[in-house]
């Protein structure tokens, strides 16, 4: 069933221990939005690597493919692209930066960075126990007004021909989930999050960013999307070329539904994936 953007719901309040929710990440949201089976294969693959257990996706054999994702796009409107350097003010402060992303550009001088102080007190992965979500934004910035918001940095696409070559809704989904992580960590909902398309090779001439709204309908959409994902016990495939061409489980030879085979698209990679890792 398509997801209809719902009315805002109050947060489920579960103090103390983790609630019994299937744990999800911004990456899970993105892959489910593209193809629920991709998310299922990806999670099963990582569980298998961690535990040594056989790969065991929940998708029943013979599941009929879907023509499109069960999730409708988030109600974020059409965020306005802004060309140029990221709008970082002289009084803005950096609260967080993913310590395992060494390629992130240097946006703040050390006197306006509180990253080391944060990481001394907290694990590097932000966790939202109420919504069962965890992940790492690239940055979290605080404005002088006290507003905090995440910034997701994309270096793979320059800001040319926007939005033709950009992830768009995939990027928006990721930053929405990161807004929730910021809300859970700093206890104030960000009005929006930023997707920042960088240009480390071009001297910044082809940079730009978009502001994705979070409060209101997008936030409610996110909560409902997490419920839809957890309630989906099938996680059916959506075999479309645009999905399968870049699908990691397809690269690893794990999907029997693939519209296009990764090895056919990238013959130079043929034979890289050990057969033993395959289950079809």
Residue numbers at the binding site for ligand SF4 (CB under 6 A): 35, 37-38, 41, 237-239, 243-244, 247, 249-250, 255, 257-259
Task: Tell me the sheet residues that pair with 213.
Answer: 192
Residue closer to ligand SF4, measured from CB, 26 or 213: 26
Exposed, middle or buried, 85 (CB in 10 Å: 0-12/13-18/19+)?
middle
Least Å distance between CB 195 and ligand SF4? 22
Least Å distance between CB 35 and ligand SF4? 3
Residue closer to ligand SF4, measured from CB, 113 or 250: 250
Least Å distance between CB 110 and ligand SF4? 42
Residue closer to ligand SF4, measured from CB, 149 or 257: 257
**In 3D, which of 127, 123, 132 has the Cα closest to residue 11?**
132
Rounded to 10°, the helix 26-34/36-51 angle is 130
Residues in the chain, total: 280
Residue closer to ligand SF4, measured from CB, 107 or 229: 229
Spatial separation of the C-alpha atoms in residues 20 and 9, rounded to whole Å: 19
Residue closer to ligand SF4, measured from CB, 150 or 249: 249
Contacts of 9 (CB under 8 A, 6+ apart): 220, 223, 224
Least Å distance between CB 170 and ligand SF4? 13
Residue closer to ligand SF4, measured from CB, 194 or 255: 255
Q: Please tell me whether residue 157 adopts helix, strand or coil conformation.
A: coil
Rounded to 10°, the helix 217-231/169-186 angle is 100
Least Å distance between CB 32 and ligand SF4? 10
Least Å distance between CB 67 and ligand SF4? 12
């Amino acid at each position: 069933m398509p997801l209809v953007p719902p009315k805002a719901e109050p947060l489920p309040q579960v103090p103390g221990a983790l609630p019994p929710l299937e744990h999800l990440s911004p990456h899970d949201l993105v892959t489910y939005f593209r193809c629920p089976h991709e998310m299922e294969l990806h999670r099963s693959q990582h569980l298998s690597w961690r535990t040594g257990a056989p790969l065991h996706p929940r998708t029943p054999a013979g599941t009929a493919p879907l023509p499109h994702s069960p999730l409708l796009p988030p109600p974020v409107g059409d965020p306005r692209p802004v060309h140029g350097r990221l709008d970082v003010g002289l009084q803005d402060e950096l609260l967080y930066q993913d310590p395992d992303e060494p390629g992130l550009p240097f946006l703040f001088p050390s006197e306006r960075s509180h990253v080391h102080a944060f990481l001394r007190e907290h694990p590097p992965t932000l966790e939202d126990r109420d919504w069962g979500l965890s992940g790492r934004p690239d940055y979290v910035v605080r404005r002088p007004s006290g507003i905090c918001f995440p910034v997701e940095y994309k270096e793979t696409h320059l800001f040319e021909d926007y939005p033709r070559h950009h992830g768009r809704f995939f990027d928006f989904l990721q930053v929405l989930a990161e807004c929730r992580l910021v809300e859970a960590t700093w206890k104030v909902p960000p009005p929006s999050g930023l997707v920042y398309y960088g240009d480390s090779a071009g001297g910044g001439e082809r940079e730009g960013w978009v502001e994705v709204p979070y409060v209101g309908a997008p936030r409610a959409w996110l909560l409902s999307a997490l419920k839809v994902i957890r309630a989906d016990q099938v996680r059916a495939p959506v075999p479309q070329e645009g999905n399968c061409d870049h699908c990691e489980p397809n690269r690893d030879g794990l999907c029997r539904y693939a519209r296009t085979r990764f090895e056919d698209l990238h013959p130079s990679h043929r034979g890289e994936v050990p057969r033993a890792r395959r289950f079809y």
